[in-house]
Structure 1
Amino acid sequence: MLKLHTIVASTRPGRAGLSIGTWFHGIASAHKDFQAELIDLKAVNLPFFDEPHHPRLRQYMHQHTKDWSATIDAADAVVFVMPEYNHGFTAPLKNAIDYLSHEWADKPVGFVSYGGVSAGTRAVQLLKPVTTAVGLVAAGEVNIPFYAQYRQDETFTPPESFNDAANLMLGRIAKVGATLKAQRQVLVAA
Structure 2
Amino acid sequence: GKPESGAMMTAFSFAGLHMGNFAGPWLRWLYFFFGVAGTAVIGTGLVMWLGKRQLKHAKSEHMPGELRLVEVLNIASMSGLLLAVAGFFWANRLVPIGVEGRADWEVNAFFIAWGLSLVHAVLRSGRRAWGEQLALGALAFALLPLLNGLSTHRGLNHSLLEGDWAMAGFDLTALATGLFLAWLAGKMLRSPKPVAKRPRAAKKPGTETAEAS
Question: Where on the TM-score scale, by shorter chain, does this alignment land: which range?
Answer: under 0.3
Structure with higher strand content: 1
Structure with higher helix content: 2
TM-score normalized by structure 1?
Answer: 0.25
TM-score normalized by structure 2?
Answer: 0.23
